[in-house]
Structure 1
């Protein structure tokens, strides 16, 4: 059985931008979830201090303690990422650093994780997702290979209110969350 709450998925957006297309994907996954899992959104990525091994001890900053607790308790993670310089944003990498190092080390090992991303460009954050897959593989996370959700030209698929309006994108998100829920049941 997966660590923590059997059906709860913790969702993280790697984007800090207020009108983020990636956060819109996260919210669409919650809103249009088939009900096979409960999705909780982690909203404090911007509050995490930058990783510093000097501060990574038995009494880390409270924001780090809370992130580690929520990740440990979640049955799986759903991470959406924009693409920054052909990789993941620094804020997302920072969160992964805090959750993968000692003394927290091990909370991501074997953790089922689904990833997705959006970009206004033609490749839909595919290079950022590739970098994220490499990071998660090195940590030992259980990253789903399929379905891949790389939303290209996302500005055409998200309205001014931040709602995903494209039926294909919503269908792919549902398939991804359902696949993650199924993987969680197998762990």
Structure 2
């Protein structure tokens, strides 16, 4: 049997963000039989515009849709910006939701995790992300992981055994939802 393929969509464009580090940790610590890959092109997507969403869609859109179509599940790793979803992530959801009713992640399991500076670790953004993806077509799983950024104390998340175990657990549960 081949590996379960999981695409990581990262809601932060900052090179040194804690969420990027969590995404890297998901790649590094994936359970055996799960191939986790970080998608790097969200910052290249144009704002969603139905006028350009056609057979000549921009190459960045085609690349995202092809990457999503080629996996079994998606892991979304995102911070919270002003109590909600980062714009780059919402834009990716909009592109992935089309064609309406038949987007590249339709019926595939999606999990949302991440970290943010607030005391709740980004739960508002995570809830909004789950809601948007739920409307867009994937099956959003209930597994949650929101970590206040101060919990890392300036260290990479891989240096915290509990975080490593939690991320690995979420990825494992996400892979178990593939079917």
Q: CA deviation at 1:86?
A: 1.2
Q: CA deviation at 1:163?
A: 4.9
Which residue number corresponds to residue 150 of structure 1? Answer: 146
Q: Is the 8 A contact 1:21 1:158 kept in 2?
A: no
Q: Is the 8 A contact 1:10 1:40 kept in 2?
A: yes
1:86 aligns with 2:111: no
Any stretches of 5+ residues in structure 1 without a counterpart? none
User: TM-score, length-normalised on structure 2?
Assistant: 0.92
Q: What CA deviation, in whole Å up to 9, does each residue of 1:106-133 have, x standing for no partner?
A: 3222111111010122110100001001
Q: Is the 8 A contact 2:52 2:58 kept in 1?
A: yes
Which residue number corresponds to residue 14 of structure 1? Answer: 11
Q: CA deviation at 1:32?
A: 1.5
Q: Is the 8 A contact 1:9 1:39 kept in 2?
A: yes
Q: CA deviation at 1:101?
A: 1.8
Picking from 136, 140, 158, the partner of 1:139 is: 136
- Number of aligned residues: 178
1:170 aligns with 2:164: yes
Any stretches of 5+ residues in structure 2 without a counterpart? none
Q: Is the 8 A contact 1:58 1:103 kept in 2?
A: no
Query: Using the alignment, how far apart are the partners of 2:167 and 2:53 within structure 1?
Result: 35
Q: What CA deviation, in whole Å up to 9, does each residue of 1:50-91 have, x standing for no partner?
A: 111110011100110010001011100011111011111000
Runs of 4+ in 1 over 6 A off after TM superposition: none
Picking from 44, 68, 71, the partner of 1:71 is: 68
Which residue number corresponds to residue 179 of structure 1? Answer: 173
RMSD between aligned alpha carbons?
1.8
